[in-house]
Amino acid sequence: MPAKPDPLLTMDQAAAIFGTSPNFPRRQIAERKIRFVRVGRLLRIPESAIHAYIEAATVEPVTAWSHRRRRAY
């Protein structure tokens, strides 16, 4: 049985997932920071590429204070 195809999202749909304006996914495409598909002259972003981008850009919190922290005199 074939795998379910990855939905291709418009800039507006991608921006809704990111919670930004449509300019943000366009800029990420222009800077080649996110995968995209060209369908004729239209640009589409695979939904998996958005989730991969968010996962790669996620910063985990620091759980312990750094030993380099000093007091200011």
Check if the beta carbon of residue 28 is closer than 8 Å to that of residue 34: yes
pTM above 0.85? no
pLDDT tens digit sequence for 17-57: 999 999 999 999 999 999 999 999 999 999 999 999 999 99
Check if the beta carbon of residue 21 is closer than 8 Å to that of residue 11: no
- Is the confidence at residue 72, as pLDDT, over 80? no
Q: What residues pair up with 43 in beta bridges, in sequence order?
A: 38
Tell me the HSE value of 53 on the side-chain side, using a 13 A CA sphere: 19
DSSP letter at 40 equals: T
Amino acid at 45: I
Distance CA 46, CA 34 (A): 10
